[in-house]
């Protein structure tokens, strides 16, 4: 059976201070993300499911039990989320991704405004995405741990950027003020990683 492992963060737990606090990062990674990996492996064993990759699983997620969808999505989404943040983010994209954002949204500032609004107003737990869908960049949100790779997704495509808006991502520092978390998160975006995802799409 395929066994998944909790990936190491590409930075220390305190590296994203003051935008994301050390304790939140530590709990988020070692408790929440780790639980999704553990539960996913258990469900794969119990259901005698073999899969080559997370991406392959996401593409046919409707065939799997709901627990695999929830925990597999949780593992994939968090693994991507960690890589799309870094200490001292680059601030704005450049190159082909910048041009594509301008073409799709008119300007980076307009994109940032729309993405922020989608993240802040997402009802309940979920994620907000920048997705390369049918050759165009679009903003979408998903509930729980769904993502654009899933065959059940309303907007399907290649994830380019994502923010976690589950309360456990920000509640220790910001309580119910999700808008503060989202605004701080922009200072951490790893646009180099986003550009690499875009070029692969």
pLDDT per position as a tens digit, 37-70: 999 999 999 999 988 799 999 999 999 999 999 9
In a domain, 3, yes or no: no
Radius of gyration of the chain (CA): 16
In terms of residue numbers, what domain contains 170?
21-201
In a domain, 13, yes or no: no
CATH code, domain with 169: 3.55.40.20
- Residues 45, 49, 55, 56, Cα dihedral to 10°: 170
Block residue for tokens 């799409």: 201
Q: Is the pLDDT of residue 1 over 60?
A: no
The whole-number pLDDT of residue 158 equals 97
Q: How many CB atoms lie within 10 A of CB 84?
A: 22
In a domain, 109, yes or no: yes
Q: What angle do CA 161, 119, 160 make, to 5 degrees?
A: 10
The whole-number pLDDT of residue 93 equals 94
Q: How many CB atoms lie within 10 A of CB 143?
A: 12
Q: Quote the number of domains for the chain.
A: 1
Spatial separation of the C-alpha atoms in residues 76 and 80, rounded to whole Å: 6
Residue 131's DSSP bridge partners are 138, 159
The whole-number pLDDT of residue 2 equals 57
Mean pLDDT score, 7-36: 96
pLDDT per position as a tens digit, 153-196: 999 999 999 999 988 888 778 788 788 989 999 999 999 999 99
- The answer to whether 86 and 196 are in contact (CB under 8 A) is no
Instruction: Estimate the crossing angle of helix 34-46 against helix 66-83, to 10 degrees.
Output: 150
The whole-number pLDDT of residue 28 equals 97
Q: Write the DSSP string, 12-41.
A: -TTTTTTTS-HHHHHHIIIIIIHHHHHHHH
In a domain, 108, yes or no: yes
48: left (phi over 0), alpha (psi -120 to 50) or beta: left
Question: Poorest-confidence range of 12-21, 36-45, 82-91, 120-129?
Answer: 82-91
In a domain, 2, yes or no: no
Average pLDDT for the chain: 94
The whole-number pLDDT of residue 99 equals 97
Spatial separation of the C-alpha atoms in residues 188 and 88, rounded to whole Å: 6
In a domain, 187, yes or no: yes
pLDDT per position as a tens digit, 117-157: 999 999 999 999 999 999 999 999 999 999 999 999 999 99
């Amino acid at each position: 059976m395929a066994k998944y492992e909790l990936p190491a963060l590409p930075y220390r737990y305190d590296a994203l201070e003051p935008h994301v606090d050390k304790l939140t990062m530590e709990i988020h990674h070692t408790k929440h993300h780790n639980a999704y990996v553990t539960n996913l492996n258990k469900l794969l064993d119990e259901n005698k499911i073999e899969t080559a990759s997370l991406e392959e699983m996401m593409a046919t997620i409707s065939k799997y039990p709901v627990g695999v969808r929830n925990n597999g999505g949780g593992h994939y989404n968090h693994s991507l989320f960690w890589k799309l943040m870094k200490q001292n983010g680059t601030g704005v994209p450049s190159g082909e991704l910048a041009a594509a954002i301008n073409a799709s949204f008119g300007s980076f500032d307009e994109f940032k405004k729309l993405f922020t609004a989608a993240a802040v107003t997402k009802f309940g737990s979920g994620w907000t995405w920048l997705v390369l869908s049918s050759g165009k960049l679009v903003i979408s949100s998903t509930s729980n741990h769904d993502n654009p790779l899933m065959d059940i997704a309303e907007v399907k495509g290649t994830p380019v950027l994502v923010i976690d808006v589950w309360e456990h991502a920000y509640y220790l520092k910001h309580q119910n003020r999700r808008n503060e978390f989202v605004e701080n998160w922009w200072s951490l975006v790893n646009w180099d990683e986003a550009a690499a995802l875009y070029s692969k799409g």
